[in-house]
Amino acid sequence: MTATPSFSAPKGVLPSQMLRDLIARQVIDASVPVRADQVQPASLDLRLGATAVRLRASFLPGKGRRVADRLPEFEMHRFDLGTGMVLEKGCVYVVELMERLDLPKALHAVSNAKSSTGRLDLLVRVITDEGVEFDRIPAGYSGKLYAEICPRSFSVLVRPGMRLNQIRFRHGHAALSDDELAALHARTPLVSGEALISEGLGFSVDLRPESGDLVGFRAKPHTGVIDLDRIGAYPASEFWEELRSANGQLILDPGAFYILVSRESVCIPPDHAAEMAPFLAMVGEFRVHYAGFFDPGFGHAAAGGAGARGVLEVRCHEAPFALEHGQTVGRLVYERMAETPDTLYGAGIASNYQGQGLKLGKHFIRG
């Protein structure tokens, strides 16, 4: 791997063409060459390596310590993923990823689960050597990447090379201030209806659909295994309970996992990206699981969209909670791109959720 002491580019999130340049310069390297289709408009898909370690507890290595050195403290069993192995619901695993980094001091990165991963309630977080928090890769980091995987609703079958999470690279500060976000919304409407701007663009839950009374899905507690390579293969009724509401209210059960949808349609302009974040911990006894990055072009007319609603992955905490239609449950933090990507979400690439409404992950069929 070639050291990269400097980096020259506009401030912002790095787009696809810059990611390809980082790969060519071995800033992003891999034990198996990076595939062209791993490069997304504003992120790079990460791939599972060959070996999984089952842990007795999740951990962070901490300053001055490597992941490999701390694994023996928590390791219960080590196994080869081979042609496929089941990761069991409720257990914690670590898998070394194929990709590794040699970042210049000007670049830092953040990781997040892919959309389909989040919709399975599959907790996937990146760990780095000397890491003190999950999913955050500091500027100048040089070393391996590991994925901590915890299936929380369904056991899953995984293989080497599967892509459960993604990484986004930033040069400097990229997030828009509230004033900048308001100005962007004035130029290019970002949301249907009134824009609630407070440390990002707020969005609320839809519990009064325009047609019918289906408002969401709740994961069933006892199901079969999901092979993550099988798309459109599983009857939704075997894994999900349909939720209906006649009064715009839904009572969340502690420990249950829900798929709901935002009331607002949102769009991401081609020269911006966004990340879903929680709104406020004080708004109720639940959390909107923020699975994903929103790529440039999501829901935007230039990429074949006309606004797209955000799918909400919701988990209730200790007490039952009555969720109301229109209640604010999360926010989108918009970030400027260093350049407009040469490929947009939904424009000529396989984008599973462009123009989406209430929708389960791509592994399920309804009927």
What is the 3-state secondary structure of 302-347? HHCCCCEEEEEEEEECCCCEEEECCCEEEEEEEEEECCCCCCCCCC
pLDDT digits (tens, 9 = 90+) for 141-168: 999 999 999 999 999 999 999 999 999 9
For residue 113, is pLDDT > 70? yes
Q: What is the mean pLDDT of the chain?
A: 90
Q: How many CB atoms lie within 10 A of CB 10?
A: 12
pLDDT of residue 292: 74
For residue 101, is pLDDT > 90? yes
Q: Which of 124-128, 312-316, 323-327 has the lowest mean pLDDT?
A: 312-316
For 178-365, CATH number? 2.70.40.10
367 or 203, higher pLDDT: 203
φ and ψ of 223, to 5 deg: -135, 175
For 12-171, CATH number? 2.70.40.10
Q: What number of residues does the chain have? A: 367
Q: What is the residue type of 312?
A: L
For residue 217, is pLDDT > 80? yes
The b-or-e profile of 214-251 (16+ CB within 10 A means b, else e) is ebbbbbeeeeeebbbeeeeebebeebbeebebeebebe
Q: What is the pTM of this model?
A: 0.92
Instruction: Name which of 228, 92, 63 is nearest 158 in CA terms.
Output: 228
pLDDT over 70, % of the chain:
90
pLDDT of residue 225: 98
Locate the domains of the chain by residue range. Answer: 12-171, 178-365
pLDDT of residue 174: 93
Query: For the residues 248-277, what does the mean pLDDT come to?
Result: 92
For residue 5, is pLDDT > 60? no
pLDDT of residue 349: 47
pLDDT digits (tens, 9 = 90+) for 319-367: 898 999 999 888 899 999 999 999 887 655 445 544 457 889 999 998 6
pLDDT of residue 346: 65
Query: For the residues 113-132, what does the mean pLDDT come to?
Result: 94
53 or 367, higher pLDDT: 53
Instruction: Give helix then strand counts, H and E, for the chain.
Output: 4, 27
For residue 4, is pLDDT > 60? no
- Cα separation, 246 vs 248, whole angstroms: 6
Q: Please count the CA atoms within 13 angstroms of the CA of 173 that sit on its side-chain side.
A: 3
Query: For the residues 97-123, what does the mean pLDDT come to?
Result: 94
CB 127 within 8 A of CB 134: yes
Query: For the residues 206-222, what does the mean pLDDT come to?
Result: 94
Query: For the residues 208-234, what does the mean pLDDT come to?
Result: 95
